[in-house]
């Protein structure tokens, strides 16, 4: 077992020494950050959420959030890959049977197994929790054919947590989750999704054609996938994406404040850009928005860990708030940076592109606001 605090310190060290130096290359070449994931795995960081009894650090939402924010400041593509691995790890730890836990969790703790989620489908769009593909029975065997739209680490992960409607389901909420190993017969990656930002996260569509599902690989009882997605995956995913957004915004804020403090104008007698009141005003707005989003994230984690009945609204809202704050902070930084920011120097242009993803990532900000409005009005969410 690794001490959580030591592991977070190691994560910060690797983020500075390994992730940050190669972030621009990962982005520009649009390649999966394999070196980063290998380093994080060997150091035990990818086992952060694995229970101690399986050799992991036994961390939770707060530790995950801190690790992802620090990674995202250095390389947001790597942070997103880590987040999806953490989400898969969390639901495997919570819902897998003993045999599957013994098979996967020690390997994850050792950094020898990378996992991810395969939930999104074109038929349900931003409603990731509602698969339209259905498991069918072939004799006594369950088989799945599906097209998954956006799978992070597609072709790079060692396993995929896949959602589908159970046989004979009458609604998308009657679903099951399965762990499908890389290389399973009928599993294929379909090209590559060329996104605006997060260029290195190997996001791609994935097809499953008559993939045989082993009952031992099911996460929880049949038909409980929807409950697992809401109770386990949703909090980790929402809080994780919010942490990544805050990390991106923090990196942009640090870059632009350093820039305006150093940038001087000869025609103004060498006065720095930072001496202009309007610049000071914009920097203050950025700092306030970033601090407010970080405080909301901390409060959401506190409520979630305390099993506060009011936590669900904040779990839904924290991704929206962090995404909005990130977009606003990075956009202001781009304006302050001028031509320097729009060139590929200093990382701001990369941060700007990476910042766009959270608002449209399922569940999108619009879908989440719909849920929040219903919750506030006492209406059923589903």
CATH superfamily, region 226-376: Butyryl-CoA Dehydrogenase, subunit A, domain 3 (1.20.140.10)
Q: Which helix (H) or strand (E) holds 206?
A: strand 204-213
Q: How far apart are CA 163 and CA 128, in angstroms?
A: 9
What sign for the dihedral angle of Cα 318, 320, 321, 325? positive
Is a pLDDT exceeding 80 seen at residue 270?
no
The DSSP output letter for 230 is: I
Is a pLDDT exceeding 60 seen at residue 1?
no
- What is the model's pLDDT at position 153? 97
Which string of DSSP letters, residue by residue, matches 135-203?
EEEETTEEEEEEEEEEETTTTT-SEEEEEEEPTT-SSTTSEEEEEEETT-TTEEE-S----SS-TTS--
CATH superfamily, region 117-221: Butyryl-CoA Dehydrogenase, subunit A, domain 2 (2.40.110.10)
- Asked if residues 115 and 160 have their Cβ atoms less than 8 Å apart, the reply is yes
Q: Which of 7-16, 20-29, 159-168, 345-354 has the lowest mean pLDDT?
A: 345-354
More confident residue, 123 or 74: 74
Confidence at 63, pLDDT banded by 50, 70, 90: very high
For the segment 278-291, what is each residue's pLDDT rounded down to a tens digit? Answer: 999 999 999 999 99
Is a pLDDT exceeding 70 seen at residue 268?
no
Most confident among 2-6, 58-62, 306-310, 375-379 (mean pLDDT):
58-62
* Domain residue limits, the chain: 4-114, 117-221, 226-376
Q: Which of 2-11, 90-99, 117-126, 141-150 has the lowest mean pLDDT?
A: 117-126
The mean per-residue pLDDT over the stretch 222-247 comes to: 97
Most confident among 54-63, 255-264, 341-350, 369-378 (mean pLDDT):
54-63
Is a pLDDT exceeding 70 seen at residue 11?
yes
- What is the model's pLDDT at position 193? 80
Confidence at 269, pLDDT banded by 50, 70, 90: low
Q: How far apart are CA 313 and CA 323, in angstroms?
A: 16
Confidence at 346, pLDDT banded by 50, 70, 90: low
- What is the model's pLDDT at position 271? 76
The mean per-residue pLDDT over the stretch 141-167 comes to: 95
Confidence at 46, pLDDT banded by 50, 70, 90: very high
Task: Please state whether 319 falls in left (phi above 0), alpha (psi between -120 and 50) or beta.
Answer: alpha
Per cent of the chain over pLDDT 90 is: 84
Is a pLDDT exceeding 90 seen at residue 128?
no
Are 4-114 and 226-376 the same fold in CATH? Answer: no
Q: Tell me yes or no: is domain 4-114 CATH 1.10.10.10.
A: no
Q: Which of 1-10, 31-40, 218-227 has the lowest mean pLDDT?
A: 1-10
Is a pLDDT exceeding 60 seen at residue 203?
yes
Q: Enumerate residues 6+ apart whose C-beta is below 8 A from 183.
A: none
- What is the model's pLDDT at position 88? 98
Mean pLDDT of the chain: 94
């Amino acid at each position: 077992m690794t001490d959580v605090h030591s592991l977070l310190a190691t994560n910060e060290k690797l983020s500075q020494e390994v992730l940050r130096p190669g972030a621009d290359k990962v982005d520009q070449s649009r390649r999966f950050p394999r070196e980063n994931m290998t380093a994080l795995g060997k150091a035990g960081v990818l086992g952060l959420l694995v229970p101690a009894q399986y050799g992991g650090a036994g961390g939770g939402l707060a530790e995950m959030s801190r690790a992802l924010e620090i990674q995202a400041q250095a390389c947001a593509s790597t942070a997103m890959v880590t987040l999806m691995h953490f989400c898969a790890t969390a639901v495997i730890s919570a819902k897998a049977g003993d045999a599957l836990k013994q098979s996967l969790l020690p390997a994850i703790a050792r950094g020898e197994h990378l996992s991810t989620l395969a939930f999104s489908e074109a038929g349900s769009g931003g409603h990731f929790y509602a698969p339209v593909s259905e498991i069918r029975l072939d004799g006594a065997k369950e088989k799945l054919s599906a097209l998954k739209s956006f799978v992070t680490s597609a072709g790079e992960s060692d396993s995929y947590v896949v959602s589908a409607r159970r046989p004979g389901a009458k609604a998308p909420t009657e679903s099951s989750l399965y762990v499908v190993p890389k290389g399973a017969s009928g599993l294929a990656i379909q090209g590559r999704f060329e996104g605006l930002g997060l260029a290195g996260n190997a996001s791609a569509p994935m097809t499953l054609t008559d993939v045989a599902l082993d009952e031992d690989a099911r996460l929880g009882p049949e038909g409980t996938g929807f409950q697992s997605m809401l109770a386990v995956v949703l909090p980790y995913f929402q809080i994780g994406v919010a942490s990544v957004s805050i990390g991106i915004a923090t990196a942009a804020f640090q870059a632009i404040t350093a820039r305006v403090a150093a940038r001087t104008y000869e025609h103004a007698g060498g006065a720095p850009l930072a001496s202009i009141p309007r610049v000071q005003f914009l920097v203050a707005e950025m700092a306030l928005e970033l601090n407010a989003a970080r405080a909301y994230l901390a409060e959401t984690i506190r409520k979630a860990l305390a099993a506060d009945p009011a936590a669900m609204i904040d779990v839904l809202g924290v991704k929206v708030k962090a995404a909005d704050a990130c977009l606003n902070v990075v956009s202001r930084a781009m304006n302050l940076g001028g031509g320097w920011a729009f060139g590929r120097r200093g990382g701001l242009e990369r941060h700007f592109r990476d910042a766009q993803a959270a608002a449209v990532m399922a569940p999108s900000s619009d879908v989440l606001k719909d849920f929040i409005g219903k919750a506030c009005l006492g209406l059923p969410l589903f």
